[in-house]
Amino acid sequence: MNKIIAANWKMNNLKRDIDDFLDKFNKNRESINYKNREILIAPVSIYFDYFKNKVEKYKLNIQVGLQNCHYEDKGAFTGEISPLMVADINADFVIIGHSERRNLFKEDDEFINKKLIATLQKNIKTIFCIGEKLEQRENNETFDILKSQIENGLKNIPNALISNLIVAYEPVWAIGTGKTATVNQIEEVHDFIKDFFKKNIAINLPILYGGSVKPSNIKDIINVNSVDGVLVGGASLKFEDFQKIINFDKE
Ligand code: PGA
């Protein structure tokens, strides 16, 4: 399986930052190791075209996606983006259920389930985020929480559609905090998620780790057997850091 290096830019980076990032990406293209890996970036949605046009102009091997979408195709949902539109602009992927959507915007499993049904039915590659909060980990509820996020999130979704899914395990306490889960913690959870999908759906889905991934820890994390890639926030915003993360196997 290729390693997936995915970037979630959240509400960061203006046009000039996109220029800086992609100009540097292009200038340093020879230094980027594309072998056995896929590079995905989700800029802010209103910059999707700007970003994608530049990627195409430079012929960069980057998949460009969105950070969220609604489940309805159209209608009176002020400020939202529909899955039909995600498909219409040819976005390469969409992120659903990020913990910031769950916690700050009060999206629950049921709402996330509707979105997953909508994106997967449209054959949109979907990164489905799950993860426990600190108090849940401290109460030994991690595996129960993850199991219920998966079961509720994927309710009524036929197995055939699940092949377009990527799961991102992002412990909420590790996101944007500088605190990374230990390699043992990551391995234990990734093995659990892999087993769950193999047993219940007979499918080997890519499982990404997210939460304070940076140049200094990428090598240890990505070398865990059940880690198929990473979802990176803060350390993906500047080309120099992201380049080091992509080139995880270069000294
Ligand atoms: P972080 O964010 O790398 O800044 O911790 C990861 C994420 O939220 O996907």
Kindly write down the DSSP assignment for every residue of 232-244, as one continuous string: ESGGGSSHHHHHH
Residues framing ligand 1 (Cβ under 6 A): 8, 170, 175-176, 210-213, 231-235
pLDDT in tens, 165-202: 999 999 999 998 888 899 999 999 999 999 999 998 87
- Beta strands 165-169 and 207-210, pairing class: parallel
pTM strictly above 0.85: yes
Where in the sequence is the domain holding 84, given as residue range(s)?
A: 41-212
For the cut 70, the answer to whether the pLDDT of residue 54 exceeds it is yes
- Residues 21 and 41: their CA atoms lie apart, in Å, by 11
Average pLDDT, the chain: 96
Answer whether residue 66 is part of any domain: yes
**From the alpha carbon of 168, which atom of ligand 1 is closest?**
9
For the cut 70, the answer to whether the pLDDT of residue 251 exceeds it is no
CATH number for the domain including 114? Answer: 3.20.20.70
How far apart are the CA of 242 and the centre of ligand 1, in A?
13
How far apart are the CA of 186 and the centre of ligand 1, in A?
15
Number of domains in the chain: 1
What's the Rg (C-alpha) of the chain? 17
Answer whether residue 76 is part of any domain: yes
**From the alpha carbon of 213, which atom of ligand 1 is closest?**
3
- Per cent of the chain over pLDDT 70 is 100
